Homo-oligomer: A and B are copies of this chain.
């Protein structure tokens, strides 16, 4: 497996592989790899000749009071995991190469980035858009793989790719969960033992929501209230949002008619966790 740190080397490698007729699968990550990331690498490996995994803790997608400094970084361990999962290249650029002194371009995404996490993480999706835009130009992949756990991120990227006519197929992959249902996340590592127990309630709340919809209820406010009460039964959980939406437009629905997405964000202690589920 190759490790590339320089931007021009990454572009040259991609160009060379394309000239050889190879298809390129791309898994952009911020490192701290878990089974969720590895599932993306496995899928990319099945569908492409070469798999490139980027590891870059992108400063522009963190807010001023967020966990940029604290975010776990371990290039060596991540590289070993990625290699074992099938990565052919680790691309790990340096922040000052990605954002040099005179960097000034901004990408803003409109309504798709305004609800859900966008409402609470000002500038987050602008940061996601710019880094993914740059990475797509650097890696030049045929297909790029994202986890459905970051459901709004997937839609933001789909919107950008469509609007800018970028030639890359966006593939969203299912959420991977721990045995007790907690969605895999690099931020789970922040949880204390006690908080980790509380974190199980996120998936339980979503399952209760699905059940409620399948029973034929029609009122999103009642569903919201039911899930709110369930989560608030644990005093460690602070709800940021529970939203019932259309799964691609991310617009709130007025009646519980499928397809639907239930998405939620909570704080447990200082750790912010998100989760979601789609009901087809």
Contact = CB atoms under 8 A, between A and B. Distances in A.
Nearest to A21: B19
A105 B161 CA distance: 9
Contacts of A111: 104
A107 interface: yes
Interface string A120-140: 000000000110011001101
Contacts of A179: none
Count of this chain's copies in the oligomeric assembly: 2
Q: How large is the interface on A (under 10, 10 to 19, 20 to 34, 35 or more residues)?
A: 20 to 34
Interface string A95-132: 00000001111111111100000000000000001100
Contact of A165 (B106, B137, B159, B163): B137
A218 to B, nearest CB: 27
Interface of A: 7, 11, 15, 102-112, 129-130, 133-134, 137-138, 140, 159-160, 163-167
The 9 closest A-B pairs by CB, nearest first: A104-B110, A105-B163, A137-B165, A106-B108, A134-B165, A138-B165, A137-B166, A103-B163, A105-B160
